[in-house]
Amino acid sequence: MSSSFRFLILMVVFTISIYVSTQLMAGNGWIDLPSYAIATLAVLFLTTTLVYFFLAHSKSKHPIDFVRNYLLTLVLKIILGGIYVFVIMRLDPSMANSNATFFLICYFAFTGLEVTLLTIKKNAE
């Protein structure tokens, strides 16, 4: 099984587990269910997958090129994530706190997974 396929399987399992745990917490009354939970998970799944494949398959001669590429993708994710949260807050102001908090928690979780898997992949090379 290729590392790309393993990554996709892990991302699907990770995304589903976040969704299920969010549903369970909302069902028990611990949190308000974000109105854009599925959209947020889809956006973060897509962006994390694109960044991972871009960085994992980039052929650079110097390690500094990898760092530059990673920082570029990180800045783009932060800017686009801010735009996404702004749009969501304008679309549903009553659930703004819940949606923004859910986005931030998921953003850090997906970014942590991405960094961990990239580190494992690059150390194996």
How many angstroms separate the CA atoms of 77 and 74, rounded?
5
Say whether pLDDT at 40 is over 80.
yes
- CA atoms 118, 22, 97, 36: torsion sign: positive
- pLDDT tens for residues 4-35? 888 899 999 999 999 999 999 999 999 989 99
Task: Please report, for the chain, the start and end positions of each structural domain, with discontinuous segments joined by +.
Answer: 3-124
Say whether pLDDT at 1 is over 90.
no
Residue 40's CB is within 10 A of a number of other CB atoms, namely: 26
36: Cβ contacts below 8 Å, ≥ 6 apart: 88, 91, 92, 95, 99, 102
Residue 110's CB is within 10 A of a number of other CB atoms, namely: 24
- pLDDT tens for residues 46-103? 999 999 998 888 877 787 888 888 899 999 999 999 999 999 999 999 999 999 999 9
Identify the pLDDT of residue 118: 85
Mean per-residue pLDDT, 99-118: 93
